[in-house]
Amino acid sequence: MIYAFFIEKRHKHYELLGKPFPTAKYQPVPEVFGWKVCGHRMFLYMSLIVGKTLREAWPLLTKDDKSAISTELSHIVTALRRVSPDPSGPFIGTWLPLHAFDSVSAGLLLNRHDRTDLGLSNLGSVSRGPVHDRFLHFDYVERPFLTIKSFQDWLLAAATRQQVRPSEEVVVLDGLYRDWLPDIGNICLTHGDLTIDNIIISSDEHGAYHIAGIIDWEQAGWYPEYWEYFKLYYGVEIGHEWRTEGWADKVMKPFEDEFTAVAEYFLWRNP
């Protein structure tokens, strides 16, 4: 859905999000038709993605259907990860602060005052937004991070409820999984909430299932390479076949240690 904010004189960002998907076959983002200001609200009008969520459709799918879907999803994830980070320097952060999004049945709302607060006339502020993953809400929303280490230290701080001032270091104790998170690696363009509830599939005239679109892009941004893998699994219950049969491992390279560490942090944040 974040696609909506790049159509009004935001050509660089429009091109960036569209760059990974040059063909309609792998275009996962809803099309935006326009917007209308009503009072202090802005309504965005988007295309309806017709189909079922992958969770809803899963019991109906054959093994061949599941393989085809996982292969197609792998292409989408790979395309996103081919996009180069900001040429002015890599960072970890989202496209836009999450409070800009207010989901309603008619679409998305953007408070007009928020547009000024977010500095949407400045492309730099759009591409270097704070980390607004739900894990950090609401008390640990933070600036974009310039290194993987600083981001992961902040995850630990949030998980252990440390009140860290800018000049202070996060306290790292044995047994807190911090050493399971390497401080080197790639920073990748990431959907940020890629669960089976946000993947919409439909069948064609031959009965073959395909990905019709992916929704809920509000957490999209630049994250460590393992973040998408974590989200592919974490939103799914342990007993679901998506997890027991390791379908996400067919979508992208596994990051098992990183998954375990961040999953523990999420549990500490939300026991």
Q: Which two tokens stand for residue 169?
A: 């270091």
For position 165, what pLDDT does the model report? 67
For position 128, what pLDDT does the model report? 59
- CA angle 53–59–63, rounded 5-degree value: 100
Element (H, E) at 227: helix 227-234
Tell me how far CA of residue 26 lies from CA of 120, 166, 212, 267, in angstroms. 28, 42, 9, 34
Separation CA 145–CA 164 (nearest Å): 15
Task: Report DSSP state, residue 222.
Answer: E
Who's near 270: CB < 8 A, 6+ residues apart? Answer: none
Task: Report DSSP state, residue 86.
Answer: P
pLDDT in tens, 86-137: 666 667 776 543 333 333 222 222 333 333 333 322 222 234 566 767 776 6
For position 86, what pLDDT does the model report? 64
Q: Are 101 and 218 in contact (CB under 8 A)?
A: yes
pLDDT in tens, 135-146: 766 566 666 788
Residue spans of the chain under pLDDT 70: 1-27, 32, 44, 86-90, 94-130, 132, 136-143, 165-167, 271
Separation CA 238–CA 27 (nearest Å): 30
Element (H, E) at 142: none
